[in-house]
Amino acid sequence: MNYRLIIQYDGTRYVGWQRQAKTADTIQGKIEGVLSRMTGSPIEIHGAGRTDAGVHALGQVANVRLKTEKSPEEIRAYLNTYLPEDIGIVSVAEASERFHSRLNAIGKIYCYRLATDPALHVLERKYMAAWETPLDQKAMKKAAGYLIGTHDFQSFCARKSKKSTVRRLDEIHFEEFPGELRLTFHGNGFLYHMVRILTGTLLEIGSGQRRPEEIPSILEAKERRAAGFTAPAQGLTLVEVLYS
């Protein structure tokens, strides 16, 4: 049976989602370990996205094929009993045999949280990046307008790729709270470090280091060095994976 899992995790102490041979500190590895113990055989799960070291998730989606007599709720209970407290299984449900969490995804939503006054967010400091330099949000929003649509985002990818780097960015939403600015990115897919580089570039524009009008030339360059810095991982959360 194929099962669909929705997963939350605090990525602070993990080296990312993807299982690695040299460390046990991955989200995928932890979940596979518990499921292997439950079924008595090796298990492989497939995540919708490979979040980086230090990145969090509210709605990561994975699918896994299991031979078990346990109900979906019993699988969920078993996982939450034996997984570390910083990984939580929100739901387990039977899925069609053709469902694949990554291949069937049509979009993702990420949120980047900036603590513009870190003193107001002591309890949330692991989930926000500090940024106390004043920001010109009008300039940032103007720059964001150039990014919306279908573009080659090679300049916003941390490594060269032989595969297509064309993606569709549907929205960059700005939301302000006391001592906090949130940037929410909605697109059909994201490249390696793409959201963090987009955020870093927008922050450079907001702080006057770049002009909004530079965005088209940054896209055209198709060179990582043309874009801004990579914002810290701790501020980024995968909010939701979208399916048709």
- Please identify every residue annotated as catalytic: 52
Specify the DSSP class assigned to residue 110: E
CA distance 219 to 32: 39
**3 state SS of 240:** strand
How many CB atoms lie under 10 A from the CB of residue 153?
Answer: 24
Secondary structure of the chain: what % helix, strand, coil (to 5)?
30, 30, 35
CB 241 within 8 A of CB 105: yes
The CA-CA-CA angle for residues 63, 231, 158, to 5°, reads: 65
Measured N-to-C along each axis, helices 194-206 and 137-147 cross at an angle, to the nearest 10 degrees, of 140
Q: What's the N-to-C CA distance of the chain in angstroms? A: 21
**3 state SS of 141:** helix
Q: Are strands 166-177 and 180-187 parallel, antiparallel or unpaired?
A: antiparallel
Q: How far is CA 163 from CA 19, 154, 181, 215, in A?
A: 22, 10, 33, 23
Radius of gyration of the chain (CA): 19
